Each structure stands twice: as structure tokens, then as C-alpha cells.
Amino acid sequence: MRTPPTCSFPKSSKALLISEVHMLLDHRKRQNESADEEQEFSEVFMKTYAYTDSFRKFKNKETIMSARSFLMQKKLHKFELAALGNLCPEAPEEAKALIPSLEGRFEDEELRQILDDIGTKRSLQYYNTTTTTTYKYSLGMKSWST
């Protein structure tokens, strides 16, 4: 029987949110598009880009930074932080089922408040995007970027 390979990371490494990975890949994609000679991306890059686009919970840099900053203020391990930010469970029971290490470390009410705050950040990002786009349109700006 073969022993599976092990993987180790430096203690200083961070667990990224899917939204952060998407932001990094998008930056790389835009760099390539603005280069003099565009290079074709690998199939793995494009599949990863599509995956992160489908499953990211936070759609803009400000919301991503706000969510990470908020979660970093809590007594969370870096992998719990990433799991909460990637899964965005709605109830303490769901969070504890998905992330068993939360059990016994957080009271349900404290965990509910964390989940509610993350949910609020998610819902406000759509409001802010819509408001910004509408505002730019009403000013007659040609760019639809937000």
C-alpha cells in the first residue's frame, strides 16, 4: 500500500477565501489581456477561474477585505475563518456541522451574530454594486464597471 504524499505549509501561510483566489486570478487575466502579446492560459487556469467565479461569495475587493477583516477580529483559526467565508452558513448548527472545531468554542448566539454580520456584508455588496452602476449611468458615464 502506497503512503499518500504529505503537504506542509509555512506557519505564516494564510488560508484564502475563494473570493480572494478569484481576485488574484482575475488580476492575472487582466494583466495578460493588457499585455502586448497575449498568452493563452492553461486549461487548469481557466477551469479554476470559472470555479472561483461560480463559488465566490464576495464579488468586489471592498467586500472581500471587509469580510476578512471582520472575521480576523474573531477568535477563529485561519482555516475556520476561510471555511466560514467560503461556505457562509446561515445558522450556528449548520456552521458547527460543517466546521466541527467551532463546537464548544462559540455560544450559538455569538456564532449567530458572526454569521448574520457576514450575511449582511454579502447582501450589501449587491446593493452597493447596483447603486454604483445606477449612479454612473445617471451621470452619463460610459463605463459600466463598478
pLDDT of residue 128: 57
Tell me whether residue 145 is in a domain: no
pLDDT, tens digit, 9 for 90 and up, residues 133-146: 444 444 444 444 43
- Does 58 map to a domain? yes
Does residue 12 sit within a domain? no
**121 within a domain of the structure (yes/no):** yes
40-58 burial, b for 16+ CB within 10 Å, e for fewer? Answer: eeeeeeeeebeebeeebbb
Residue 80 within a domain: yes
User: How many structural domains compose the chain?
Assistant: 1
| Per-residue pLDDT, 94 | 98
pLDDT at 51 over 80: yes
- Domain limits for position 128: 18-28+42-138
| Reported confidence tier of residue 112, pLDDT bands at 50, 70, 90 | very high
pLDDT digits (tens, 9 = 90+) for 93-104: 999 999 999 999
Is residue 60 within 8 A of residue 23, CB to CB? The reply is no
> Is 37 inside any structural domain?
no
pLDDT higher than 80, residue 106: yes
Residue 4 within any structural domain of the chain: no
Helix-strand-coil percent breakdown of the chain, rounded to 5? Answer: 65, 0, 35
Report if residue 107 sits inside a domain: yes
pLDDT in tens, 83-95: 999 999 999 999 9
Query: Residue 91 belongs to a domain with what CATH number?
Result: 1.20.1250.40
Quick check: pTM over 0.85?
Answer: no
Confirm if 99 and 70 have CB atoms less than 8 A apart.
no
